[in-house]
Structure 1
Amino acid sequence: MTATTQPSLPPSHDAAVQQAESPAPPIMDRPKSLAATTALALGAVGVVYLAATHGVKQAGLFALGIGLGVALFHARFGFTSAWRQLVAVGQGRGLRAHTVLLGTTATLFAIIISTGIGFGGVVPEASVDPIGVGSMVGALLFGIGMQLGGGCASGVLYHVGSGQSATVITLVSFVVGSFAGTWRYDFWQETLPSFGSYSLAEDIGYGGALVVTLLVLAAIAGASLLVERRRTPPPVAPVPTAQGLARVVRGSWPMWAGGVVLAVLGALVLMTKGSAWGVTSAFALWGAKVAQALGMHPETWAYWQDPGNAADLNGALLDHSTTLNDLGIIVGAALAAAIGGQFVIQRRIPGRVVAAAILGGFLMGYGARLSFGCNIGAYLAGIASFSLSGWVWAVVALVGTWLGLKVRRRMGLATPAPGDGVC
């Protein structure tokens, strides 16, 4: 008897779908030794220098910034991409990572603020901002700008650290926009209608506010799953990754893991400096310092006459907590990118990309000043502090995301692939 060979059957539909949803990640490059050594040296020297000249607190804030940069890069934690994916194709993976970050941060903030736990006598304070026409205009501008500039506030910093030259242009324009937003700041915040501030924690206590916030976040995550089932978005493109324990050091991390790490580091920032992690107030300060060096007098503007802002403007940059966090993020992202073999400096930048980076950076900077912060200082810190302003910022910035995608097409720019998970 001769054996008969069964014809090979095509893969089942379920198997094909599963394969399509789980494409193999790209091969990871070798570590970039020179870039990694440089970033590590910068980080170590920075911590030692700050500890010796500005104190342990400032050194700690810089070190926490390095940790934030490592986590942002290794998790490719995107705010811009998460909202773009949601609006463009209904992909909710990034939004669900946001709910993990927000829920974990809110839990830690509730414990820290309600008990007053801080390092060195620091008293942590919640980030509760007023809601007004000016702040909503700012959130809308920020949402548009981050889709043009190729990243949010934290995303711009970690992109710069990983060698993306186009984002340096966005950062410079971001600084200019942030500084411009301090001019006539009183018009936006005092002349235009304002509806005051509201804290859920002040109404029902931190325990009750946390329960309500977690339930809302769970509902948002569930709704994102329902949207995915109806719209069947394409899978998120994988990024190069190591395997086993090496993945902890070289990446890439799951976004949910990045969200947890970012929440813990953000809580440590709160305990160290007494206020939530922010990004863009440093950009406004950098711009003001440069303006003074060029002979301008921003100190006469209402924004810089506020006692806290005036103290920052008259003080040294390395005494500014947010500046130290931001510089640390750049160094940490450079270190993570180099160890992961992903540190690559771009040499050619198309003209349209440059134009979008300039416009997007300016809109984000100006918008962040009007709305009391960015995706970190207004959105993350606001919601985690149980402030209604954080939720309003998120809704308005989401509308700005939709508008920003339309502006990209008007400028002849290709919309990033819906499956692209990078911020």
Structure 2
Amino acid sequence: MLEAIIDQLGDSTVMMLVGLVIGLVFGAAAQHSRFCLRAAIVETAGRKLGAKLALWLLAFSAAVMFVQAAIFFEYLDVSDARQLSATGSMSGAIVGGLMFGIGMILARGCASRLLVLSATGNLRAMVTGLILTLVAQASLRGFMAPVRETVGGLWLVDGGEARNLLHVFSLGHGLAALISLAVLGFAIWLAKQKSVRLTHGIGAVLVGFAVSLGWVLTYQVAQVSFEPISVQSVSFTGPSTDTLMALVNEREIVFTFGLGLVPGVFLGSGLMALATGEFEIQRFGPETKMERYFLGAFLMGFGSMLAGGCAVGAGVTGGAVFAITAWVAIFSMWMGGLLTQWLVDRSSMA
């Protein structure tokens, strides 16, 4: 069936449609569940295990469990995915992760959260997200690319087994799925203890499921396509820059997974906000200083390109396939975010 669809529509169109479907699911689920790494970090900085942390753990552990189960049952093979096969940067994961974590606190949201909030009428998130995207593009191919390449080249790790955390610790995919299932069980228990709404919890799990579905569907397309197809899943910084450049710099748009993903997330979040009565225009004000958001956007834009992705792209999507650089990046994001929130709390009490 998939081969027939590809023959009729073409590889690029099918990949764009796959991205659109994944984006719709992710956007709607992320908006309804309030899935947000920054919110989880702020809560944890207050020395408590609360609802926001439970929601993040639900999404993260669900993504890992579904992906590892799919690999175990041979529905997925991620050995050729760039997160594992290409040379990775440990220095980039550390420095970029720290920068992203700091910026995420200052801008009150990561790259994915800013995109989701933009669709709900939050103009602060929309402007901040655009600046993040422009900085990311400048870091990837513009005047900041040499700095990124220099920092990223300080500590490299070879692709293949050296970059696969499961191989480093001699763990199988089945065991990884069981461990993540146990973490998911803890997250469900914590969500119940903190009176998380059932629909919010389901939404968080669907966020993780969307990540795994992206991996599986792109792999299935790659298996039957005559053209080389990259096995990939949800990420935001790179696809957002590609989408922006395609819209403003190309006369003819080439369909890609990311070109379907970003509009899909925006549409899914917007439709969910309208359906639940949560659409509301929000602007900058005295309590939401523009310079703080812009500084955060700059740090996240450069940091995400250095770390190999955002809190979802590097953290959840890369973490689900146990890329060592992804786990280092998400740990660094947590550390940068916790330290920044501690400083923000301390300055507010002074």
TM category (shorter chain) comes to: 0.7 to 0.9
SS of 1:55's partner is helix
Contact conserved, 2:15 with 2:255, CA < 8 A, in 1?
no
Equivalent of 1:322 in 249, 255, 258: 258
Deviation at residue 104 of structure 1 after TM alignment: 2.1
Cα-to-partner distance string for 1:334-388 (whole Å, 9 max, x where unaligned): 1110111111112553485211121111111111100011111111122211233
What's the counterpart of residue 187 of structure 1?
A: 150
Contact conserved, 1:148 with 1:359, CA < 8 A, in 2?
yes
In the aligned structure 2, how far is the partner of 1:270 from the partner of 1:90?
33
Instruction: Give the structure with the higher percent helix.
Output: 2
What's the counterpart of residue 211 of structure 2?
A: 266
Q: Which has the larger radius of gyration?
A: 1
- Alpha-carbon distance change, 53 to 77 in structure 1, aligned in 2, over 3 angstroms: same
Residue type matched to 1:380 in 2?
V
Q: TM-score, normalised by structure 2?
A: 0.77
Contact conserved, 1:317 with 1:323, CA < 8 A, in 2?
no
What's the counterpart of residue 209 of structure 1?
A: 176
Contact conserved, 1:123 with 1:271, CA < 8 A, in 2?
no
In the aligned structure 2, how far is the partner of 1:114 from the partner of 1:284?
34
Deviation at residue 65 of structure 1 after TM alignment: 0.8
Equivalent of 1:127 in 61, 67, 83: 83
Residue type matched to 2:205 in 1?
V
Residue type matched to 2:202 in 1?
A
What's the counterpart of residue 94 of structure 1?
A: 52
Residue type matched to 1:402 in 2?
L
Q: CA RMSD in A?
A: 3.6
User: What pairs with 1:364-403 in structure 2 (closer than 5 Å)?
Assistant: 364-403=300-339
In the aligned structure 2, how far is the partner of 1:157 from the partner of 1:253?
24
Contact conserved, 1:138 with 1:366, CA < 8 A, in 2?
yes
In the aligned structure 2, how far is the partner of 1:221 from the partner of 1:268?
21
Equivalent of 1:169 in 121, 127, 136: 127
Contact conserved, 2:136 with 2:302, CA < 8 A, in 1?
yes
Cα-to-partner distance string for 1:133-161 (whole Å, 9 max, x where unaligned): 22210000000111111111211111000
In the aligned structure 2, how far is the partner of 1:288 from the partner of 1:187?
25
User: What pairs with 1:207-356 in structure 2 (closer than 5 Å)?
Assistant: 207-214=174-181, 217=183, 254-273=199-218, 274-286=231-243, 293=249, 317=253, 319-347=255-283, 349-350=285-286, 353-356=289-292
Contact conserved, 2:102 with 2:340, CA < 8 A, in 1?
yes
Contact conserved, 1:174 with 1:362, CA < 8 A, in 2?
yes
In the aligned structure 1, how far is the partner of 2:139 from the partner of 2:303?
7
In the aligned structure 1, how far is the partner of 2:203 from the partner of 2:82?
23
SS of 2:285's partner is coil
Q: Which runs of 5+ in 1 are unaligned?
A: 1-50, 229-234, 239-251, 294-313, 415-423
Contact conserved, 2:93 with 2:326, CA < 8 A, in 1?
no
In the aligned structure 2, how far is the partner of 1:75 from the partner of 1:270?
22
In the aligned structure 2, how far is the partner of 1:351 from the partner of 1:222?
35
In the aligned structure 2, how far is the partner of 1:206 from the partner of 1:400?
30
Is the deviation greater in 74-83 or in 136-145? 74-83
User: What pairs with 1:57-76 in structure 2 (closer than 5 Å)?
Assistant: 57-76=15-34
Is the deviation greater in 256-265 or in 356-365? 256-265
Equivalent of 1:159 in 99, 117, 121: 117
SS of 1:319's partner is coil
- Alpha-carbon distance change, 290 to 66 in structure 1, aligned in 2, over 3 angstroms: closer
Percent of pairs with identical residues: 22
What's the counterpart of residue 83 of structure 1?
A: 41
Residue type matched to 2:318 in 1?
G
SS of 2:83's partner is coil
Cα-to-partner distance string for 1:148-189 (whole Å, 9 max, x where unaligned): 111112111110000101111211111122113221232122
In the aligned structure 2, how far is the partner of 1:267 from the partner of 1:71?
14
Equivalent of 2:100 in 138, 142, 147: 142
Contact conserved, 1:117 with 1:124, CA < 8 A, in 2?
no
Contact conserved, 2:45 with 2:338, CA < 8 A, in 1?
yes
In the aligned structure 2, how far is the partner of 1:124 from the partner of 1:271?
13
Residue type matched to 1:187 in 2?
T
Deviation at residue 122 of structure 1 after TM alignment: 11
Contact conserved, 2:27 with 2:116, CA < 8 A, in 1?
yes
Cα-to-partner distance string for 1:10-46 (whole Å, 9 max, x where unaligned): xxxxxxxxxxxxxxxxxxxxxxxxxxxxxxxxxxxxx
Deviation at residue 407 of structure 1 after TM alignment: 5.8
In the aligned structure 2, how far is the partner of 1:181 from the partner of 1:336?
33
Q: When the two structures are aligned, how many residues end up with a matched partner?
A: 316
Residue type matched to 2:152 in 1?
Q
- Alpha-carbon distance change, 107 to 91 in structure 1, aligned in 2, over 3 angstroms: closer
In the aligned structure 2, how far is the partner of 1:152 from the partner of 1:82?
12
